[in-house]
Amino acid sequence: MDQFVLSATLKGHEQDVRSIKPVSDDMLVSCSRDSTVRVWNKLQNGDNINQWDGSVINYQSATHKFINSLTCFVKDKENFIASGGNEKLINVTSLFGTSSIDPKYVLIGHTNNVCSLDSIDEGLIISGSWDATAKVWDDFKLKYDLIGHENSVWDVKIIGTDLFLTCSADKTIKLWNQDKVVKTYKSHTDVVRSLLVLPDGETFASCSNDGTIKIWNISSGECLQTYNGHESFVYCLGILSNGDLVSSGEDRSVRIWRNGKCIQVIRFACISIWTVAVQNNDDIAVGGSDGLIRIFTKSKIRAASEKDQEFFLKEVENSSINEKSMDGLNKEKIPGKEALENSGEEGKTIMIKLPTGLVEAYQWSGGKWIKIGDVVGASGNDKKQEYNGKNWDYVFDVDVKEGEPPLKLAFNANENPYVVAANFLEKNDLPQSYTEEVVRFIMNNTQGVTLGESAAANPYADRNPVESIKLNVIPQTSKLSFEKLIDFKNIEKINSTEPKKYTEEQLNGLKESLNTKNYENLFKMWEFMFQNYNNKIIVYDFLRALANSIPQYKLKTEILPFLGDGLKSENLNIQNLALKVMTNIAKYIPPNQLATLFPLLRTLKFDNSKIALTLATLLYNLSIGSYNDEHSSIFLELLTKLIDSSKGSLDSEVGYRSLIAIGNLAYYGNLASKKYLKDKTFVWNTNRFTTLYNDFERI
């Protein structure tokens, strides 16, 4: 086949699919705003070769934060996934693991959304963030901090072990040698969203909110070619084995490019097509704002059934396009169906008017006109208003300050309200924190005019200027947790050995409550374990997973005494689990509610590596927003004991979390912590520690 057609539709995510990475032709990894990372495996079901199973959730954010980026790599013969998002963390999990298993590594350092990741085998990772930095990680430790962009770093690429590309909302692309900028590429007129290093190793492609794709020479910095065709923001790029480029964007389309010319456009019913990924067999996986992953192929063998292809095309046909989103639309001059008798260029869009007066949009694709939606009337004004020499659908008076004249806010129905809001605030020197408020004002006063029926997304949030960064790491505000899910099979096994056990009916109820996440029932079932089970490890582990749903009235009477028993236990596994429960609880309640347990922390074995890491994580959580001098002094005592008792042999992750916790205490005004940081010399000297030490000097 000459054209790509639908191969399969993968259903599982509940919100926008933000990134997809192929592992093989039969395995994909995806992440979503629904807070999950999923692994998809192609099923071999006889004649039906297009079925995929996405039931494996590899990672799930315990705080239900968006996951926006991921990368896959092999290190020491083990397959890993690294994912990042609004947690501000990078979680590294085993490709073949599930969300019931804690991440193997957590990379801490970014202070805002981690929006891009790239890696090469043996564990070199680069991350980009809305905090305006990119960071390079080697062996799961920070190697380079790339500081130089003025706004969010939207994409990152590894060219060599010490050579990196980054692009930003500041409209520039930068080439880095280690942590030094060696070249800046300028040509885009808006936010640069994605990068693609081309196979020759000498050139790369970029795409932007300005609607263009550009090809660059890495060495000379020359922009060699510009591709025009997308009708809105361009989000993502891929490349086929024959050198054709693939792109996706906010115009409901995926486009295939050959030598600068668009040779195919695939339209979708959803507006935002966030990501494209090319598999080894040249099939293209596409993720968008409807939460679905669709795979497209040129292979007759892998093509979807005619019924499924027809259903996809009908979805597009039946979608609605707001007439005000069609620039220059004049209903009186729209041709009839006879216009479809003429040929067009790939991707060209025309309107035709039916005898009933309805208007339909068609696109030339694959040598024929394909309907891509009905052009429907908007709720906006029919009469344009003039402002600053231009015609607008709406011109609002916005009162900002009492006693001063109102500001003019102009808006056309074919514009993204987030873009208009950002420009309005920037133009009038107003805080970008008002963005959501301005968007709500626009939506309320235009009756929610949008392209189609989807609510406006915020693809332009990255234009918000990053606040001036006085400190790079301190204070940390995102708490950590031990997120391993409850293993039902393990409970079944242990239950069979207990003198007083769950009945078969109760076990079925437990399984159903786990599946439906009925935490009220699960806590009642935990109480049965608490009162009857001899195996206390499973009782502590079950409680760890229920930390966000413990009834407040049970905390003092049952939970804290039980945790105290765990901390005093001679079984180090029980001690560690009690600490994990405390760590997870500390995400949701003020530190003083755990205060009765703090003296027991002094009795722990600080030289045990597992105890040390869990204790450092607990103290990290307790230090966030900690203003209580009495508790701060206990925290500092424990943290310094953690560091000092190691005599330099302490695991660097334990040291890093401990020092961040002390930095948080110092930031919130604990003078003893400030003095400790000022007087103490530490043994770690990698980049992430150096950055931390620089913060300590400025607290």
**pLDDT tens track for 181-197:** 999 999 999 899 999 99
Distance CA 77, CA 81 (A): 13
Residue whose pair of structure tokens reads 């996405």 in the numeric block: 54
Tokens for 240, please give them.
Answer: 């086929």
Do residues 240 and 257 lie in contact, with contact meaning Cβ atoms separated by under 8 Å?
no
Distance CA 175, CA 316 (A): 40
What is the Cβ-side half-sphere exposure of residue 336, based on CA atoms within 13 angstroms? 5
Whether 274 has a pLDDT exceeding 90, the answer reads yes
In CATH, the architecture of 14-248 is 7 Propeller (2.130)
**pLDDT tens track for 533-562:** 888 888 888 888 888 778 777 888 889 999
Distance CA 368, CA 352 (A): 15
Q: Which of 244-253, 462-471, 496-505, 635-644 has the highest mean pLDDT?
A: 244-253
Q: What number does CATH give the domain 385-412+415-450+452-463?
A: 3.10.20.870
Smallest Cα–Cα separation from 492: which of 531, 439, 538?
A: 538
Whether 436 has a pLDDT exceeding 80, the answer reads no
Average pLDDT of span 351-378: 72
Distance CA 589, CA 597 (A): 14
The amino acid at 426:
E
**pLDDT tens track for 212-242:** 999 999 999 999 999 998 988 899 999 999 9
The model's pTM is 0.61
Question: CA distances (Å), 83 to each of 55, 61, 86, in order?
Answer: 18, 10, 11
Q: How many CB atoms lie within 10 A of CB 630?
A: 9
**Phi, psi torsion values for 237, nearest 5 degrees:** -130, 150
| Three-class SS state of 660 | helix
pLDDT value of residue 326: 53
The C-alpha angle 210, 212, 214, rounded to 5 degrees, equals 125
Tokens for 127, please give them.
Answer: 């991350």
Question: CA distances (Å), 244 to each of 58, 199, 206, 258, 342, in order?
Answer: 32, 11, 14, 5, 27
Out of 1.25.10.10, 3.40.50.1100, 3.40.50.1110, 3.30.200.20, the CATH code matching 488-698 is 1.25.10.10
pLDDT value of residue 382: 47
The C-alpha angle 240, 241, 246, rounded to 5 degrees, equals 10
DSSP states of 216-275 as a string? EETTT--EEEEEE--SS-EEEEEE-TTS-EEEEETTSEEEEEETTEEEEEEE-SSS-EEE
Answer whether the bond into residue 599 is a cis peptide, omega within 30°: no
Distance CA 231, CA 684 (A): 51
Do residues 387 and 408 lie in contact, with contact meaning Cβ atoms separated by under 8 Å?
yes
Q: Average pLDDT, whole number, for the chain?
A: 84
Kindly state the helix (H) or strand (E) to which residue 688 belongs, with its residue range: helix 687-698
Tokens for 653, please give them.
Answer: 């992750």
| Three-class SS state of 507 | helix
pLDDT value of residue 466: 41
Q: Where are the domains of the chain?
A: 14-248, 320-369, 385-412+415-450+452-463, 488-698
**pLDDT tens track for 385-398:** 777 777 777 887 77
